[in-house]
A and B are shown apart, each in its own frame.
Chain A
Amino acid sequence: MRRRAILGYGAAGVGAVALMLFVGWWQVDGPGGPEPVGQRPVALTEMDFRLTDHEGNAVGPETLIGRPTMAFFGFTYCPDVCPTTLSDISEWLDDLGDEAEEMNVVFITVDPERDTVETMAEYVGYFHPAIRGWTGPEEQIARVADSFRATYERVPTESGDYTMNHSASVFLFAASGRFVTMIDYHEPREFAVPKIRRALEEEMEGAT
């Protein structure tokens, strides 16, 4: 009888340790983990830039305040990473269903030379209808990237063209404009969708 009780505590102990390990992983490396300090974007309310969306509307950080936001950088001449990110996002939005309708989803080009308003309009048309495409003058793009702590670089290719190296993470902001978290490229959907929900839930808290 006594022995069984000890065994019982033993099993509970193993369970508790496993739970602690899991919680530790979740908070350190998992979806609950903090972002590295110094690389976090500033709040949208602290940003200042003027761009044009794919329908020709003037847009800026204030366009995004009031709804949670998912934003990322790319360019339409990107053969691998960008279409993959856009289709990943389209899939996450499908998973979220109605919840996604309350979000801003913005694809900001780092290649304004080739990505005109018309080009952006055609490109985003192939993906989820919630995705907006933003472009603008080079110096405004530089300002946005700077506020996001994102980087990009023009690199010549052997074919005589150029390609762009760029930050491939997806940034999430609450409706208040506060930065919530980011989704790294290659992060599995099991992590991405809960992170998006975190940004969405923060809005609920603010609303009540």
Chain B
Amino acid sequence: MKKYILTSTLAALLTLGGLSVPALAGPEDVVVEHAWSRASIGMNRPGAAYMTIRNTGDEPVTLIGLATPLAMMPEIHETKTNAEGVSSMSPAGEIAIAPGESVALEPGGLHAMLMRLQELMTEGDTFPLTLLFDDGGEVTVEVPILGIAARGPED
């Protein structure tokens, strides 16, 4: 209810200002599940974190970036494997999630790439990872750090 009022007020203000903007989707509509990552060997190697991001709201949400005290350059990456079996990785850009849809960050596909680690990723610890959305919304999750050979959130 509170969110609805806030959104309407904002939309009204922006409309008055002559701007046309899509309705805002608050972070309360975003649910992050099954977050996990692998322990690092030292701090020179990049880490990777995985999770499922669900949009439970009525409006699309767009993930535009990441923030974490663990790494100087966290970024959403995508691994692709071509017809010749060659794998490569590149920044995934913005990720739009339609209402009711979810996006899986999982090994061999999308991942939260954690470049320039500031701390060791130690098995058994957790670290906070903030997802940044295009409407200014943020969602912070505590990501468990599993073993180096972990294959999924249940390992």
A158: shortest Cβ distance to chain B, in Å?
Answer: 7
**Cα-based distance from A76 to B38 in the complex (angstroms):** 13
Question: Which residue of A39, A84, A122 contacts B107 across the interface (Cβ within 8 Å)?
Answer: A84
Q: Which of A76-108 contact B (CB under 8 A)?
A: 76-77, 79-81, 83-84, 86-88, 90-91
**Cα-based distance from A81 to B85 in the complex (angstroms):** 12
Is B136 in contact with chain A by the CB < 8 A criterion? no
Is B113 in contact with chain A by the CB < 8 A criterion? yes
Question: Which residue of A39, A77, A127, A182 contacts B46 across the interface (Cβ within 8 Å)?
Answer: A77
Interface size class of A (residues with CB under 8 A): 20 to 34
Is B48 in contact with chain A by the CB < 8 A criterion? yes
For chain B, the count of residues having a C-beta within 8 Å of the partner chain is 32
Q: How many A-B pairs fall under 8 Å by CB?
A: 89
- Note all chain B residues with C-beta closer than 8 A to A157: 115
- Note all chain B residues with C-beta closer than 8 A to A151: 84, 86
Is B20 in contact with chain A by the CB < 8 A criterion? no
- The answer to whether A83 and B38 touch across the interface, beta carbons within 8 angstroms, is yes
- The answer to whether A76 and B41 touch across the interface, beta carbons within 8 angstroms, is yes
- The answer to whether B81 and A186 touch across the interface, beta carbons within 8 angstroms, is yes
- The answer to whether A168 and B81 touch across the interface, beta carbons within 8 angstroms, is yes
Question: Which residue of B77, B116, B151 contacts A84 across the interface (Cβ within 8 Å)?
Answer: B151
**Cα-based distance from A30 to B46 in the complex (angstroms):** 35
- The answer to whether B108 and A167 touch across the interface, beta carbons within 8 angstroms, is no
> With contacts A81-B108, A158-B91 known, is A39 near B44, CB below 8 A?
no
**Cα-based distance from A168 to B48 in the complex (angstroms):** 18
B83: shortest Cβ distance to chain A, in Å?
Answer: 9
Is A184 in contact with chain B by the CB < 8 A criterion? yes
- The answer to whether B85 and A83 touch across the interface, beta carbons within 8 angstroms, is no
Is B13 in contact with chain A by the CB < 8 A criterion? no
- The answer to whether B151 and A169 touch across the interface, beta carbons within 8 angstroms, is no
- The answer to whether B79 and A80 touch across the interface, beta carbons within 8 angstroms, is yes
Is B89 in contact with chain A by the CB < 8 A criterion? yes
The residue of chain B having its C-beta at the shortest distance from the C-beta of A185 within the complex is B81
Closest 8 CB pairs of A and B: A165-B88, A79-B48, A168-B87, A84-B107, A159-B115, A169-B85, A126-B148, A87-B149
Task: Enumerate chain B interface residues (CB-CB to A < 8 A).
Answer: 38, 41, 44-48, 72-73, 75, 77, 79, 81, 84-89, 91, 107-108, 111, 113-116, 147-151
19 contacts between A and B (CB under 8 A): A76-B41, A80-B77, A80-B79, A80-B108, A80-B111, A83-B107, A87-B151, A126-B41, A126-B148, A155-B88, A157-B115, A158-B75, A158-B91, A158-B115, A159-B72, A165-B87, A167-B85, A167-B87, A182-B85
